[in-house]
Amino acid sequence: MTRWENYLLSAEKIVTTYDGSLPLHHFLKPFFKQNPQMGSRDRRWISQLAYAFYRLGHLWKNEMPVKDRLLLGLFLCETQSNEILALLKPEWNEQVTLPVAEKLSAVSFNGQSPTPNDIFPFTASLSEGIDAVAFANAYFVQPRLFIRVRKNKQEAITALLQDAGVTGEWLADDMLALSNGTNIETIIKNKDWYEIQDASSQQTGQLFTPKPGQRWWDACAASGGKSLLLMDKEPRVQLTVSDVRVSILQNLYERFYTAGIKNYETKALDLTLPVPPKTLDYGSFDGIILDAPCTGSGTWGRSPEHLYFFEETRINTFHNLQKRIAENVVPLLKKGGSLIYITCSAFKQENEAVVKHICEHTGLQWRDGGIITGYNIGADTMFAAKLMK
């Protein structure tokens, strides 16, 4: 048996035992630890096969044998001649350099050709403005790594990348796209020169219009990416950050320290409940960023196992959660203030439908923003809307 066939057997063992209860990369760590005979090259090939399997989404999920599905995923994801395909599927290896759309048109199973809904069976739930074909096909393209350059360090970062032999693409004055897997931390030692932040996430900042001395609240701050974007636009903002998870706020403290952000207030708040009196002042914030909990469906290109195991009923669960949080947040907004509602979801029920509910039940008006499609540049798909009180 060749090592390529051994790789397929190992990948098949992974996908038949993995149940999606934790991220795939966390599952792979103990799997490889239990198989110390596998070197770094072996682990890389086997991981690649497993991820390619999940990038197929629901395409012939319970019909095609696992081994065949592994090879199909590899064919659709690869862009150059591949040794496994050359051995086991030479006819596919000859076509591996074709665009994804052409490769999809060249495959079939039981007389059926793949459709976008076969890959992503929730296309009817997508937000307006999303191209279902491009969105589904993007699953077979590895998303890119994006950094947001700080402190006008574009020239210095460009020089460091050139010295390291790394090629990047400037998509904006402060937005740089790199191939996924670029070890940016070893190239740029000054961590306060940049933030790792997806291109679509960076674009949400276009809706932030802070002024010196204003009070802003990042209500579901997580590790603080949107807050850092806000503070880089206007460092004289009076910032409050909160999250229900105390542990993730520790990550925020570390990021803020590295970025040199010192003047801010933190709160641990469960926003599924009304904000307790005297915790924060009602009607006191000029701007509120609500990066709401969501399905994360716009980011599944980075974690395709989530698509494979996703149950559609969860969309409504998050829809109701988002409405409840928004209703508890809006009373803290000043008259004339702005609420920036953000999700990393591609589903209209989490996006437009929630904004419509907010406007109908709180009197806010939707002034700007909408879906941010990142699939054409190797980025996430997100939603961001600016609502005024």
- pLDDT tens, 80-129? 999 999 999 999 999 999 999 999 999 999 999 999 999 999 999 999 99
The residue annotated as part of the active site, out of 77, 220, 294, 344, is 344
The per-residue pLDDT of the chain, averaged, comes to 96
Is residue 232 part of an annotated ligand binding site?
Answer: no
Residues of the chain with pLDDT > 70, as a percent, come to 100
- Which of these ranges, 40-44, 276-280, 354-358, has the smallest mean pLDDT? 276-280
Structure confidence by residue, pLDDT tens digits, 208-256: 999 999 999 999 999 999 999 999 999 999 999 999 998 999 999 999 9
Nearest to 372 by CA among 358, 386, 362, 356: 386
User: Tokens 């952000």 sit at which residue?
Assistant: 261
For residue 33, is pLDDT > 90? yes
Structure confidence by residue, pLDDT tens digits, 318-336: 999 999 999 999 999 999 9
* Residue 311, both tokens: 């149950």
Q: What is the mean pLDDT of residues 22-50?
A: 95
Per-residue model confidence (pLDDT) at position 278: 87
Q: Using alpha carbons, list the distances in angstroms from residue 351 to 153, 185, 366.
A: 35, 34, 12
112, β-bridge pairs: 109
| 63 pLDDT tier (thresholds 50, 70, 90) | very high
∠257-261-267 over CA atoms, to 5°? Answer: 85
220 has catalytic annotation: no
∠108-114-118 over CA atoms, to 5°? Answer: 135
Structure confidence by residue, pLDDT tens digits, 262-309: 999 999 999 999 999 889 988 899 999 999 999 999 999 999 999 999
Neighbours of 254 (CB within 10 A): 12
| 1 pLDDT tier (thresholds 50, 70, 90) | confident
Q: How far apart, in whole angstroms, are the C-alpha atoms of residue 348 and residue 20?
A: 25
Inter-axis angle of helices 352-362 and 313-329, nearest 10: 30
142: Cβ–Cβ under 8 A, 6 or more apart, which residues? 77, 179, 180, 378
Per-residue model confidence (pLDDT) at position 171: 96
Is residue 42 part of an annotated ligand binding site?
Answer: no
72: Cβ–Cβ under 8 A, 6 or more apart, which residues? 56, 59, 64, 107
Is residue 270 part of an annotated ligand binding site?
Answer: yes
Neighbours of 44 (CB within 10 A): 12
